[in-house]
């Protein structure tokens, strides 16, 4: 869907009688904006494209476009784009294809109502030597358009579900509905309805009370409007967080290979590494239903090795895996050579066991949590932090891998 942005003819208006005050060009623009609707709560890329012809009324360079999205009088976001910056002498006409993007994050978008997009062209006078200065720019509206909220859409904010290090709070799920008829919203977990609301407004936004979504599991939001029902699911996970924004895991019940490469290990620092890894993986096999098989160094699902510290922040090791469509692959665990922790064998208070548990937890799909009683808390305090997976960590692994059904 596209909506035509109407060009505002500037013409050789009387304002151009004073050269410095006018933009210095006659404008003929035919620009389109796409799409013509947006969904509250979802990212929006507004593409502006078309043809722009400028006819110089004096020596001039048209160099920039200012793209602005606003809701009523409230500016939401501004972006700048370059034109092709062709110098034009008085009387010269120049046509160019314009292609610009106004990218908006969910936070930039209003919950309701039309968005106005405007496009301004900025031109600066050019002196006899061909010099021009952006500070001399005069701008002229060359197009404007409206983007309407899609009718009958449901948007759900679930970002709160997985609190990260910076944000140690749990926020309620927000449901935003743009409706063309009265709506009924119900939230259920299994067969139990935990929350209900009705609205006859064109737009509706509400936070689902936290107290109603305390239990782990999948919740279903049903929005009924004029006889049709839209459903959206969200998950609540207590005590653990996935490593990516959405849940990702290795294939359930599968066998993963792992290898250990001692290259670069600090002198005497890698005694017992392979044994310690094997101990950790034995426990993770119990908790996940995965099987782990050591292979010679080289290609393996999980590759373990050493490297000089990558950051200055005192990290002891790094662990993670790549993700595609919710499936993890290519796990890597790197111990940093200057880490005393990584170079201390075994599962004592200062042994590398807890470090391996934590990093392999990442590889298996666990992210950081804000509860310092759990293994996946990002900071380890010797003598205080847990040395092995705790209840919340284990709950996460169970949810990711459902080990009870692996045989
Ligand atoms: Zn970590």
- Return the half-sphere exposure (C-beta side, CA atoms, 13 A cut-off) of residue 153: 15
Q: What is the DSSP string of 237-296?
A: -SS--BSSSS--BPPTT-EEEEEE--TTPPTTTTTTHHHHHHHHHHHHHHHHS-EEEE-S
Same domain, yes or no, for 193 and 282?
Answer: no
pLDDT digits (tens, 9 = 90+) for 257-283: 999 999 999 999 999 999 999 999 999
**Ligand 1 center–CA 342 separation, angstroms:** 14
Same domain, yes or no, for 63 and 195?
Answer: no
**Ligand 1 center–CA 362 separation, angstroms:** 7
Query: Judging by beta carbons within 10 Å of its beta carbon (0-12, 13-18, 19+), is residue 200 exposed, middle or buried?
Result: exposed
**Domain residues for 343?**
255-405
Same domain, yes or no, for 103 and 205?
Answer: no
Q: How many structural domains does the chain have?
A: 3
Distance CA 378, CA 334 (A): 16
**Ligand 1 center–CA 151 separation, angstroms:** 43
Nearest to 124, CA basis, from 61, 56, 55: 61
Same domain, yes or no, for 231 and 345?
Answer: no
Q: Is 399 helix (H, G, I), strand (E, B) or coil?
A: helix
Q: Please say whether the beta carbons of 185 and 230 come within 8 A.
A: no
Distance CA 158, CA 346 (A): 40
Same domain, yes or no, for 263 and 400?
Answer: yes
pLDDT digits (tens, 9 = 90+) for 74-118: 899 999 999 999 999 999 999 999 999 999 998 888 877 789 999
Distance CA 171, CA 192 (A): 22
For the record, the structure tokens of 174 come out as 């927000």
**Ligand 1 center–CA 318 separation, angstroms:** 7
For the record, the structure tokens of 254 come out as 């599968």
**Ligand 1 center–CA 405 separation, angstroms:** 28
Give the pLDDT of residue 39: 79
**Ligand 1 center–CA 378 separation, angstroms:** 5
- The total of other beta-carbon atoms located within 10 Å of residue 177's CB is 27
**Ligand 1 center–CA 332 separation, angstroms:** 13
User: Looking at residue 111, which CATH number applies to its domain?
Assistant: 2.60.40
Same domain, yes or no, for 143 and 272?
Answer: no
Same domain, yes or no, for 102 and 221?
Answer: no
**Taking the CA atoms of the chain, what radius of gyration do you get in angstroms?**
29
**Ligand 1 center–CA 399 separation, angstroms:** 19
pLDDT digits (tens, 9 = 90+) for 392-404: 899 999 989 999 9
Residues of the chain with pLDDT under 70: 1-21, 151-152, 157-171, 216, 237-238, 245, 310-313
**Ligand 1 center–CA 54 separation, angstroms:** 56
């Amino acid at each position: 869907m596209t909506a035509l942005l109407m060009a505002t003819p500037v013409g050789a208006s009387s304002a151009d009688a004073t050269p410095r005050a006018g933009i210095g060009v006659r404008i003929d623009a035919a620009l389109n904006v796409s799409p013509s609707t947006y969904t509250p709560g979802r990212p929006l890329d507004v593409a502006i494209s078309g043809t722009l012809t400028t006819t110089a009324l004096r020596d001039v360079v048209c160099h920039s476009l200012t793209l602005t999205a606003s809701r009523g009088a409230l500016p939401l976001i501004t972006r700048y784009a370059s034109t092709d910056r062709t110098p034009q002498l008085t009387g010269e006409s120049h046509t160019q294809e314009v292609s610009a993007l106004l990218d908006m994050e969910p936070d930039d978008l209003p919950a309701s109502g039309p968005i106005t997009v405007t496009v301004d062209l900025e031109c600066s006078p050019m002196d006899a030597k061909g010099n021009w200065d952006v500070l001399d720019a005069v701008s002229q509206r060359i197009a404007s358009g409206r983007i309407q909220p899609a009718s009958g859409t449901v948007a759900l904010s679930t970002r709160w579900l997985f609190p990260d290090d910076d944000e140690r709070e749990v926020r309620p799920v927000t449901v935003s509905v743009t409706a063309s008829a009265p709506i009924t919203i119900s939230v259920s977990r299994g067969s139990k309805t935990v929350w209900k609301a009705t609205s006859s407004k064109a737009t509706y936004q509400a936070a689902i009370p936290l107290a109603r979504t305390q239990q782990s599991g999948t919740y279903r939001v049903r929005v009924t409007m004029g006889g049709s029902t839209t459903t959206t699911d969200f998950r609540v996970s207590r005590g653990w967080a996935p490593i990516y924004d959405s849940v990702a895991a290795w294939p359930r019940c599968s066998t993963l290979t792992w290898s250990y490469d001692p290259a670069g290990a600090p002198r005497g620092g890698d005694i017992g590494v392979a044994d310690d890894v094997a101990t950790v993986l034995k426990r993770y096999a119990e908790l996940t239903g995965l099987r782990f098989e050591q292979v010679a160094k080289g290609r393996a699902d999980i590759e373990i090795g050493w490297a000089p510290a990558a950051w200055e922040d005192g990290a002891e090791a790094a662990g993670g895996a790549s993700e595609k469509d919710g499936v993890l692959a290519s796990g890597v665990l790197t111990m940093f050579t200057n880490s005393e922790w990584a170079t201390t064998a075994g599962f004592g208070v200062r042994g590398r066991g807890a470090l391996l548990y934590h990093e392999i937890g990442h590889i298996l799909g666990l992210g950081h949590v804000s509860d310092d009683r759990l293994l996946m808390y990002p900071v380890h305090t010797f003598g205080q932090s847990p040395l092995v997976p705790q209840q919340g960590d284990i709950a996460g692994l169970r949810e990711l891998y459902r080990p009870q059904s692996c045989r």
